[in-house]
């Protein structure tokens, strides 16, 4: 947590903070959605304006006082609060469950990472804490794409989230 006023948020969606697609697969419907890893924040009040693919309009038509941020750096959590907000948005947008049910049943989630991203213990804990903050009940990690998820593992979780970050080619 920040003490006092948080540091100024600037546009961070280039270089190491380049956005990447996040895939969300809901078990109940069987559909896979793709969203951008972006979040738009009003800099004066730190209020979130938009998340995911909705942030593209703030990049195309910049608005005064709104910064577009990618809360991940090379596929790893860089800004915990913004990452948790983005993941919560993605869970709520595609799950479509009445809010009253969230009090009784939290979704179980499997996070899929490409084999090129090797998570350390600290990075795994950061993703786990982000998912818990976003409202998940059980979180499991899988090394491989969301399409490579085994059937028996896929049936045990409500939502599968695929972090599809790849190293930029030079």
Is 42 part of a structural domain of the chain?
no
Query: Tokens in use for 29?
Result: 């419907």
Is 113 part of a structural domain of the chain?
yes
Q: Which residues, including other chains, have CB under 8 Å from residue 102's CB and lie 6 or more apart?
A: 135
Is 46 part of a structural domain of the chain?
no
Is 80 part of a structural domain of the chain?
yes
Identify the pLDDT of residue 12. Answer: 59
Is 159 part of a structural domain of the chain?
yes
- Could you tell me the sign of the dihedral formed by the alpha carbons of 16, 85, 24, 39, in that order? negative
Encode the chain (170 residues) as per-residue pLDDT tens digits. 334 444 455 555 555 567 888 999 888 888 888 998 899 888 888 889 999 888 888 888 888 888 888 888 878 888 889 999 999 888 888 776 666 555 677 888 999 988 877 888 999 999 999 999 988 889 999 998 888 888 878 778 888 999 887 665 44
pTM of the model: 0.82
Is 170 part of a structural domain of the chain?
no
For residue 86, give its domain range.
Answer: 16-34+74-163
Total structural domains within the chain: 1
Identify the pLDDT of residue 141. Answer: 92
Identify the pLDDT of residue 111. Answer: 92
- Could you tell me the sign of the dihedral formed by the alpha carbons of 112, 118, 123, 125, in that order? positive
CB 111 within 8 A of CB 142: yes
- Could you tell me the sign of the dihedral formed by the alpha carbons of 97, 90, 30, 103, in that order? negative
Spatial separation of the C-alpha atoms in residues 142 and 150, rounded to whole Å? 10
Identify the pLDDT of residue 98. Answer: 62
- Could you tell me the sign of the dihedral formed by the alpha carbons of 33, 36, 42, 47, in that order? positive
């Amino acid at each position: 947590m920040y003490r006092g006023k948080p540091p100024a948020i600037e546009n961070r969606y280039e270089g190491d903070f380049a956005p990447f697609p996040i895939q969300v697969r809901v078990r109940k419907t069987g559909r896979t959605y793709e969203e951008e890893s972006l979040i738009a924040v009003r800099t004066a009040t730190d209020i979130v304006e938009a998340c995911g693919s909705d942030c593209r309009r703030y990049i195309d038509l910049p608005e005064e006082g709104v910064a577009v941020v990618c809360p991940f750096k090379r596929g790893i959590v860089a800004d915990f609060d913004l990452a948790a907000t983005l993941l919560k948005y993605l869970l709520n947008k595609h799950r479509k469950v009445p809010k009253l049910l969230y009090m009784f049943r939290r979704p179980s989630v499997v996070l899929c990472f490409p084999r090129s991203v090797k998570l350390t213990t600290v990075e795994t804990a950061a993703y786990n804490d982000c998912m818990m903050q976003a409202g998940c009940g059980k979180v499991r990690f899988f090394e491989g794409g969301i399409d490579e998820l085994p059937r028996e593992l896929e049936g045990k979780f409500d939502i599968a989230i695929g972090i599809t970050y790849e190293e930029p080619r030079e």
